[in-house]
């Protein structure tokens, strides 16, 4: 079965199969980290940037929207308030 890569060596079938997708899985993981909400434990897609901070949050954890219950969302809201206070005094 040379055409399937099974006689080429011990790892030929692995690298020809699922092993060839490792770089694609890594790219998907990096993209997910980029678009994921920054609140700890939240797996929603974060589309709302918090002004003055590097945070990207979902609608539930954004400081402008009400209903924020998570402790980390409060930290994000505090960072947002600090950034707003710093930009208004400058």
- pLDDT tens digit sequence for 35-51: 888 888 888 888 777 77
pLDDT at residue 1, as a whole number: 47
Total number of domains constituting the chain: 2
| In a shared domain, residues 83 and 68 | yes
Structural domain boundaries, residue 45: 36-90
pLDDT at residue 20, as a whole number: 86
| In a shared domain, residues 42 and 6 | no
| In a shared domain, residues 87 and 52 | yes
| In a shared domain, residues 53 and 29 | no
Tell me how many degrees the CA angle 70-32-30 measures, rounded to the nearest 5.
125
Cα 17 to Cα 6, 12, 21, 22, 58, distances in angstroms: 11, 8, 8, 10, 36
Q: Assess whether pLDDT exceeds 50 at residue 21.
A: yes
| In a shared domain, residues 41 and 69 | yes
| In a shared domain, residues 21 and 59 | no
**Per-residue confidence at 66, pLDDT binned at 50, 70, 90?**
low
């Amino acid at each position: 079965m040379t055409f399937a890569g099974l006689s080429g060596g011990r790892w030929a079938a692995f690298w020809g199969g699922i092993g060839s997708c490792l770089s694609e899985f890594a790219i998907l993981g990096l993209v997910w980290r980029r678009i994921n909400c920054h609140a700890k434990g939240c797996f929603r897609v974060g589309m709302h940037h918090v002004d003055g901070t590097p945070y990207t949050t979902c609608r539930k954890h954004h400081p402008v929207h009400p209903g924020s219950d998570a402790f980390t969302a409060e930290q994000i809201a505090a960072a947002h308030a600090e950034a707003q206070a710093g930009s208004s005094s400058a």
